[in-house]
């Protein structure tokens, strides 16, 4: 595998071609998510595994799961038809790093097939520290980490459990481990020149007052952009059973204003895409590019 040409591009160049990092770019450049990662190693209270990961995608429709071989075939087919394609990412439907072999196997194939495309990975961050070298070697220039809290007493309201190296952690201990790994991973990636976007889910009554502190901390550790998205509660999740509510648009805007005044670059155009989304943001064309519609070996 040759190191990616895109990782050697200056950061401004990588920002300007990624539709999520640049509001301007989202009008011209398309992204493609490859749903190759089914498993997850934590349990968020808003999630129900029957749906896509809420960290980087919208619950409600389960993605068609692809093997790395199928993903490669699909990437080639889409690239041949979608000229604006600039980013190929893996965002679920579970946590990409809880499926490391499938995820990195897919990135290797993508890199060989399309050496100039930007690659992007989204994760809850639990096992990020084990993959920093691999991310760098594969030239993955953009990583999104979902960080909903930096205080374990708030985190315990968000995460039911965390599973790592054969041990299941619960309560404060689980949140403490996850948060420590997220922040270490963020700092390590930023130190290697990877552009890190932090996603945070605004959960009324849980982290609404806390996300300004989260933003300050992730900025200090090197995050390039912060994306606060409204809570989407999956049916059957713990939050659904507790009768929690999504934030109102004005609650989200108020919080974004507060974060903006701290000097952090904010993403305000997130469309909470599915883990198999294809096309310009807000224009999901995944149905046009189903695997069975693709030729076996596109040129």
Question: Applying CB under 6 A, which residues contact ligand SF4?
Answer: 20, 31, 40, 42-44, 47, 53-57, 94-95, 124, 227, 270-273, 281
Q: How far is the CB of 295 from ligand SF4 (least distance, A)?
A: 27
Q: How far is the CB of 199 from ligand SF4 (least distance, A)?
A: 7
Q: Tell me whether residue 158 or residue 188 sits nearer to ligand SF4 (CB atom).
A: 158
Neighbours of 296 (CB within 10 A): 6
State whether residue 162 is helix, strand or coil.
strand
DSSP annotation of 200: E
Q: How far is the CB of 270 from ligand SF4 (least distance, A)?
A: 3
132, 185 contact by CB (below 8 A): yes
Q: Tell me whether residue 7 or residue 33 sits nearer to ligand SF4 (CB atom).
A: 33
**Backbone dihedral angles phi then psi of residue 242, each to the nearest 5 degrees:** -80, -5
Q: How far is the CB of 80 from ligand SF4 (least distance, A)?
A: 22
Q: Tell me whether residue 137 or residue 180 sits nearer to ligand SF4 (CB atom).
A: 180
DSSP annotation of 295: -
How far apart CA 3 and CA 26 sit, in angstroms, is 26
The structure tokens listed for 179 are: 């948060």
Q: How far is the CB of 106 from ligand SF4 (least distance, A)?
A: 17
Q: Tell me whether residue 31 or residue 73 sits nearer to ligand SF4 (CB atom).
A: 31
Q: Tell me whether residue 118 or residue 221 sits nearer to ligand SF4 (CB atom).
A: 118
State whether residue 32 is helix, strand or coil.
strand
């Amino acid at each position: 595998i040759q190191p990616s040409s895109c990782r050697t591009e200056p950061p401004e160049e990588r920002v300007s071609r990624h539709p999520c990092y640049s509001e301007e770019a989202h009008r011209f450049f398309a992204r493609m998510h490859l749903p190759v990662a089914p498993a997850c190693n934590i349990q968020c209270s808003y999630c129900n595994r029957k749906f896509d990961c809420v960290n980087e995608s919208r619950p409600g429709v389960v993605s068609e799961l692809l093997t790395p071989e199928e993903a490669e075939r699909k990437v080639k087919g889409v690239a041949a038809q979608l000229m604006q394609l600039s980013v190929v990412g893996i965002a679920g439907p579970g946590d990409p790093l809880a499926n490391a072999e499938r995820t990195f196997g897919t990135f290797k194939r993508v890199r060989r097939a399309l050496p100039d495309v930007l690659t992007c990975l989204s994760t809850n961050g639990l096992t990020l520290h084990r993959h920093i070298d691999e991310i760098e070697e594969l030239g993955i220039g953009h990583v999104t980490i979902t960080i909903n809290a930096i205080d374990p007493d708030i985190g315990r309201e968000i995460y039911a459990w965390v599973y790592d190296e054969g041990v299941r952690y619960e309560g404060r201990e689980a949140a403490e481990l996850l948060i420590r790994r997220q922040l270490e991973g963020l700092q390590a990636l930023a130190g290697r020149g990877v552009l890190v976007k932090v996603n945070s889910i605004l959960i009324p009554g849980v982290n609404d007052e806390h996300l300004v502190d989260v933003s300050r901390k992730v900025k200090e550790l090197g995050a390039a952009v912060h994306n606060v998205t409204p809570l989407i509660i999956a049916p059957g999740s713990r939050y659904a059973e507790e009768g929690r509510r999504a934030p109102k648009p004005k609650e989200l805007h108020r919080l974004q204003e507060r974060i903006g005044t701290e000097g952090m670059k904010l993403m305000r155009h997130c469309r909470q895409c599915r883990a198999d989304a294809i096309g310009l943001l807000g224009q999901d064309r995944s149905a046009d590019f189903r695997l069975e519609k693709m030729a076996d070996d596109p040129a």
